[in-house]
Every structure is written in C-alpha cells, then in structure tokens.
Amino acid sequence: MAYIGNIPAEAYTNTVKDSFNGTGSATAFTLSQPTVTNDVRVVVENVVQDPTVAYSVSGTTLTFTSAPPSGTANIYVVHLGAAVMTAIPPSEIADATTFASSVTVQGAFTSQGIDDNANSTAITIDSSENVLVGTTDPLVGSGSGSNTQGIALSSGSYGGYLTTSRQDNPTASFNRKGTSGGIVDLRHDGSTVGTIGSRNGESLMIGSTYGTEAHLNFGNGAVFPVTNSGIVKDSQITLGASTARFKDLYLSGGVFLGGTGSANKLTDYEFGTFEYNIVGSTSGGWTKRTGYTQGTYVKIGSTVTIQLRFESTSKGSPSGTYVQITGFPFTNLVSAGAANNQVQIAMNFRGNNQPSDCSGSYGVMNNNTTVMSLFVRRTNSAFSFDPISPSDVPGNCEGGVQMTYITA
C-alpha cells in the first residue's frame, strides 16, 4: 500500500543510553551500537564533553583524549542518531494513546480501569464477569461472603441476577417524573405482567396487567382497586375465588353488602352461649338440670337469634307474679309503635297447671330488658294473656325457646 508522507510505524522506538565505570586510566570503551562522533552526547561526571576535542567515535569504539576519572557509572553516552526499532513497548506511555487494534499483554499488569486487575476495588469486574460495587461478594448481603453492603450484577454462575444490600436504609430508589403511572415494570419472557407505580403523585399502586388488570391503590388511609393508570375500578375486582379462598378476615369496623348505604352495613357477627336462670319475678327460682344450663345465640348486626332448651329438677320457694327466664345475652330493643313495647313469642312449656281454655304458652320480653316473663294465652272472648305464676309450676318443668329480636 502506498503512503503520503512517513510510513506508519509498526514498532515502538526507544532512545539508547550506554553507561560505563571510569578507572582513571582507561580511554577506550565499547558502545552498544555503532555510531559516529557527532551522533552521541558524552557526559563525564555530569559534564557534557566536546566532540572531536574530548572524544571520538569509530563504529562501536568510544575513545577519550584523556582517561576519565575513576567512578561508578560516572560516564554515560546518549545516542542522538535515528531511534532504534523494537517490539518492546516503553515502560510508560505518558500521554493518552489510542490503539487501532487489539493489544496483548504478556505477564501481569495493573490497570487504572474497572476489571479484575485494577488498582481500585470500589468497582470491579471479577473473573466470572460479575460487576461488583463496594463488595467482592456476587450475592452481597445474602450469600456466603462477609460483605453486608454493596451492589452486585451477576453474570457468571448467578447470570442475570441483581443484588443490593445496605445497612439500616433503603436499598434502591426509583423516581418517575411528570405524569402518574408505572415506575417499575415486571416482565416475563418480554411481556409486562405487573407494575409498581404512583397515582396522582401521592399514593402507591401495585398490581397485574395480565388479562383483566387488577391494581390496588394504597394511600390516604384506604386501599381500593384501580387501573394501571390510576382510574378507580368500582365493583369490578373479585377478592378470592370459589377454590381459592382466604382463611380469616379481621375487622374492627363493618362490611357493606349489596350497597353503600347505612342499611347495607354489617357491623357485627357473634356466636356464643349464655347462662340462663328460671326464677320467680320477686325472688327464688328453680334448680336447672345438669346439661341444660346454657342457651346459644347468634348475633348478626343488631339481630339476635336465641335457642334455649331448659329443664329443672326442683324449686326453692320462688315468689312473684310471673315465672321468668333471665340472662338473655343482649337487651331487647323494640321499635317505636310495637304493641306494648314487647316481643311476644310462642314457646313450648310443660309442667304448669294450665287452665282448660289455654291455647299455649308465650314469652314476653319488655323493651330494654334481658328478662322474659311467661304467660298462657286464653281462648276466652278476650283471648287474654294470663301470667304463669310460681305456684303454677312444679319443681320438674321443661320447655324451649327459639326467638329472634332486635338489640341496640
């Protein structure tokens, strides 16, 4: 190939320097390469010598007019002729250099860059091609290494794995500027399956874009469903499934079912037992049979349903106008306008001396009480209620109550 100007160098160039020890008597010294008198600079005891006057050169022989003094390396010769071509690079390249092709280094070297031979380990690339920042452990904070802080982008045996670890502080920060929306996209095989983002610049959104997208918005004391762009999705997202149910749900407030009005709010569900007693309305009572000492109840919102089977074995001189059952778990609350502000229910009661014109036993629970008084219903012209008095009931009596009433 033809060139304009100098032919590009294909090798490094070095300036040659020879050093000698003076003896005080020797005048001839052998140079490392042939030259001529005016192509070298000769220095003796740090004094530059005058060519042709103080010395002469023929081939590789340097001859002094008079013998230099004795000393160690007190004579040196710098060859000023053409530079010597060599394949060995100089010990240092002081200026910025660009290599047009690959460079092969034989032997160890220390670089100023980011690799496993660098003279700094703040950022390194180890022999497994793991990029490590502030650590030497590719599983920083989670692997077997001792480093607890740093960043590792693994390419070797942990290929494509990013690990960050930091003491007592967040390990990463992602900032979206401008409009609301996704901040981090989560992908599988190149397709986005979920996002983490911001809604209105003040709340967190997290969810899936697969199929019918479902995101939850967290912020301002509430969690509710939204789209990936933050639009509220009212009455569209299902929580759980028929074969993928949640186990328990703990609430301190209420649940709105079928609507958002106060009438749709379920505030309470409770199931339990209660201890009842059969007493005279003034004093005394009956001894309950073992195994029949409790009733059960279910409370849904303000509605209470009672189931009670009672039996007695004896009585202890009860007195008063009525036989009563006490200990109901919640106060009766009768709505305004109800007859006599009472709850009246038919019940099964055996053991009392009922009149011949009795059509059955009834319990009456007055407003704001937890006590039921027992009556019989007469079949006379007035269909009157007559109280069951303690004297009407023997020691052995039994009965049952199943009723529903409203409480506060």
Give residue-wise pLDDT tens across range 247-264: 998 888 889 988 999 888
Point out the domain boundary residue: 112, 134, 165: 165
Across residues 82-94, what is the average pLDDT? 59
Residue 128 falls inside a structural domain: yes
Assign 238 a pLDDT band (cuts: 50, 70, 90): confident
- The parent domain of residue 32 ranges over 12-86
Distance, in Å, from the CA atom of 180 to the CA atom of 199, rounded to the nearest integer, reads 5
Structurally, how many domains does the chain consist of? 4
pLDDT the model gives residue 295: 94
Across residues 159-164, what is the average pLDDT? 82
One domain, residues 146 and 186:
no
162, 145, 134, 163: which is closest to 124 by C-alpha? 134
One domain, residues 130 and 156:
yes
**Half-sphere exposure (CA, 13 Å, Cβ side) for 97?**
10
One domain, residues 313 and 386:
yes
- pLDDT per residue over 99-141, tens digit each? 777 777 777 766 666 655 666 667 778 778 888 888 878 878 7
By three-state DSSP, how is residue 242 classified?
coil
Query: Is pTM, for the whole model, over 0.75?
Result: no
One domain, residues 401 and 313:
yes
Residue 104 falls inside a structural domain: no
Task: Determine contact, residues 71/51, Cβ cutoff 8 Å.
Answer: no
Across residues 62-72, what is the average pLDDT? 93
The DSSP bridge partners found for residue 386 are 376
Assign 143 a pLDDT band (cuts: 50, 70, 90): low
Assign 156 a pLDDT band (cuts: 50, 70, 90): low
Across residues 179-202, what is the average pLDDT? 87
182 pLDDT above the threshold of 90: no
pLDDT the model gives residue 350: 60
One domain, residues 56 and 136:
no
Tokens 């992602």 belong to residue: 174
One domain, residues 213 and 295:
no
Residues 6+ apart with CB under 8 A from 181: 197, 198, 228, 229, 230
One domain, residues 37 and 144:
no
pLDDT the model gives residue 65: 93
Across residues 157-171, what is the average pLDDT? 82
Residue 289 falls inside a structural domain: yes
Distance, in Å, from the CA atom of 246 to the CA atom of 242, rounded to the nearest integer, reads 10
By three-state DSSP, how is residue 99 classified?
coil
Assign 31 a pLDDT band (cuts: 50, 70, 90): very high
The type of residue at 349 is: F
Assign 289 a pLDDT band (cuts: 50, 70, 90): very high
Distance, in Å, from the CA atom of 28 to the CA atom of 393, rounded to the nearest integer, reads 150
One domain, residues 147 and 209:
no
- pLDDT per residue over 296-324, tens digit each? 999 998 899 999 998 899 999 999 999 99
278, 276, 281: which is closest to 389 by C-alpha? 281
336 pLDDT above the threshold of 50: no
One domain, residues 394 and 279:
yes
207 pLDDT above the threshold of 80: yes
Assign 46 a pLDDT band (cuts: 50, 70, 90): very high
| Average pLDDT score over the chain | 82
Element at 265 (helix H, strand E): strand 265-266
Handedness of CA 126, 128, 132, 134 (dihedral sign): negative
